[in-house]
């Protein structure tokens, strides 16, 4: 179903039309093959970059789309409705560009942002470590000061686009009480990546660990000041969480659409299953959940676009949208009955993909922690 969106202007309507066109032609046709074979869709991100979809919320002076977050997130939602892995990777790329724009010097911005925003350089975000996920401040990867730069030593974990990205927003310890952010090249000497994790879902985009063995990063690779790393990481994640909320909403919308189509065809006891009230009400609850998920991320995005604080609303959106995606995709499997439990239909994949959304970019327990801390202020 084409979602009837309230968009701010004709430019945004044209952008959403373009996105749907690309999503139908480039994503929907390739998704099943790559998710089943667990293969990366080489060339696809270049196509998204050429269409201008990889730098949408960034300023036009650096080659970005100059779009409000409200519009960017609806583009992400449309991508996710066709291919969650690609939407998540697009959201993570956008997150990885954030430290350069928000904390980079004018020289760093003009040197790197145009290639990043055009998709000529694809980004990853490397905060997590094997022993430091929710507790990001416990990270141990070190950046030791040496002449002209830093030497990076340690292990990172769970990097979306690991081993494929051209650059990483890397967070490393520059002192006992100091964490800093670096723009690390993907091809640095002394940087190696582990084998892709064998995940439950999001099979088409690899997630890997990374091992830093004294790789050298020049001074110009430091973003912001030494010691500003956690502030950068958390402010980036406020925006990133909205990207995940939009991904979850798109996934839930796709599951709802497939469930409704099936329920209009499948017959039991002499009528379409959608006409059995017990099942019609299940679909109604699914639709209400999807609308709520969309409303929460749009509320947070509009606050962000207006320059208002939005951290609490971003956590609410991530929590509501991803819990909704889990429930709606599980219910979609129920609507399909036994067939829903097979790989013949996409709903089983949607259910597997929804699960990770409750976990990454801050688990939903951590979102509740953020929200309750705001309430306690």
Ligand X SMILES: Cc1cc2nc3c(=O)[nH]c(=O)nc-3n(C[C@H](O)[C@H](O)[C@H](O)COP(=O)(O)OP(=O)(O)OC[C@H]3O[C@@H](n4cnc5c(N)ncnc54)[C@H](O)[C@@H]3O)c2cc1C
By the 8 A CB rule, do 318 and 367 touch? yes
Q: Which is nearer to ligand X, 155 or 363 (CB)?
A: 363
Residues 319-358 within binding reach of ligand X (CB under 6 A): 356
Q: Which of 108, 126, 208, 249 binds ligand X (CB under 6 A)?
A: 126
Q: Which stretch binds ligand X (CB under 6 A): 29-37, 68-76, 297-305, 365-373?
A: 365-373
- Is there a catalytic annotation at residue 361? yes
Applying CB under 6 A, among 74, 174, 207, 329 the residue interacting with ligand X is 207
DSSP category for residue 270: T
d(CA 89, CA 160): 7
Per the structure block, which two tokens stand in for 291?
């609308």
User: Which position's Cβ is nearest ligand X?
Assistant: 133
Distances (CA, A) of 152 to 169, 170, 172, 222, 361: 13, 10, 8, 12, 24
Q: Which stretch binds ligand X (CB under 6 A): 72-80, 127-135, 235-243, 341-349?
A: 127-135
Nearer to ligand X, 133 or 229 (CB): 133
Q: Does 94 bind ligand X (CB under 6 A)?
A: no
Q: Tally Cβ neighbours within 10 Å of residue 352.
A: 16
The smaller minimum CB distance to ligand X, of residues 169 and 328, is found at 169
Binding flag, residue 369, ligand X (CB under 6 A): yes
Out of 261, 268, 342, 365, which residue is the one contacting ligand X (CB under 6 A)? Answer: 365
- Closest CB to ligand X among 247 and 274? 247
**Does the protein bind ligand X through residue 310 (CB under 6 A)?**
no
Give me the residue label for tokens 């609850």.
285
How many whole angstroms separate alpha carbon 112 and alpha carbon 126? 18
Pick the closer one to ligand X by CB: 197 or 291: 197
Instruction: Determine the angle formed by the axes of helices 69-82 and 229-265, rounding to 10 degrees.
Output: 50
Give CA 240 to chain center in angstroms.
Answer: 6
Enter the tokens of residue 117.
């925003």
DSSP 8-state secondary structure symbol assigned to residue 104: S
Residues of this chain that bind ligand X (CB under 6 A): 92, 125-128, 133-134, 158-160, 199, 202, 207, 356, 359-361, 363, 365-366, 369
State the catalytic residues. Answer: 361
């Amino acid at each position: 179903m084409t979602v009837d969106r309230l968009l701010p202007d004709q430019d945004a309507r044209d952008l959403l039309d373009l996105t749907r066109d690309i999503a139908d032609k480039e994503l929907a046709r390739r998704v099943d093959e790559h998710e089943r074979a667990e293969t990366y869709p080489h060339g696809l991100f270049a196509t998204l970059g050429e269409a201008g979809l990889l730098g949408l919320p960034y300023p036009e002076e650096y080659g970005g789309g100059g779009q409000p977050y409200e519009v960017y997130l609806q583009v992400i939602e449309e991508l996710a409705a066709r291919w969650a892995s690609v939407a998540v990777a697009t959201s993570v790329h956008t997150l990885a560009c954030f430290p350069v724009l928000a904390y980079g010097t004018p020289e760093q911005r003009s040197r790197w942002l145009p290639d990043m925003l055009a998709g000529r350089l694809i980004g990853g975000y490397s905060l997590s470590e094997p022993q430091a996920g929710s507790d990001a401040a416990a990270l141990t990867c070190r950046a030791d000061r040496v002449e002209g730069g830093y030497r990076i030593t340690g292990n990172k974990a769970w990097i979306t686009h690991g081993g494929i990205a051209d650059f990483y927003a890397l967070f490393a310890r520059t002192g006992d009480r100091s964490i800093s952010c670096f723009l690390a090249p993907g091809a640095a000497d002394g940087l190696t990546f582990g084998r892709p994790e064998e995940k439950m879902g999001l099979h088409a985009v690899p997630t890997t660990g990374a091992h830093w063995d004294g790789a050298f990063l020049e001074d110009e690779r430091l973003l912001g000041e030494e010691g500003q790393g956690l502030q950068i990481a958390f402010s980036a994640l406020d925006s990133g969480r909205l990207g995940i909320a939009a991904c979850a909403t798109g996934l839930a919308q796709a599951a709802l659409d497939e469930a409704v189509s099936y329920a209009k065809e499948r017959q039991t006891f002499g009528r379409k299953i959608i006409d059995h009230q017990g099942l019609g009400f299940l679909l109604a609850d699914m639709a209400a959940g999807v609308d709520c998920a969309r409303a929460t991320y749009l509320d947070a995005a509009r606050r962000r676009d207006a320059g208002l604080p939005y951290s609490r609303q971003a956590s609410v959106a991530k929590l509501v949208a991803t819990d909704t995606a889990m429930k709606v995709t599980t219910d979609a499997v129920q609507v399909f009955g036994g067939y829903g439990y097979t790989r013949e239909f996409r709903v089983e994949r949607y259910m597997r993909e929804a699960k990770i959304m409750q976990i990454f970019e801050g688990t939903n327990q951590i979102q509740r922690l953020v929200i309750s801390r705001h309430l306690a202020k």
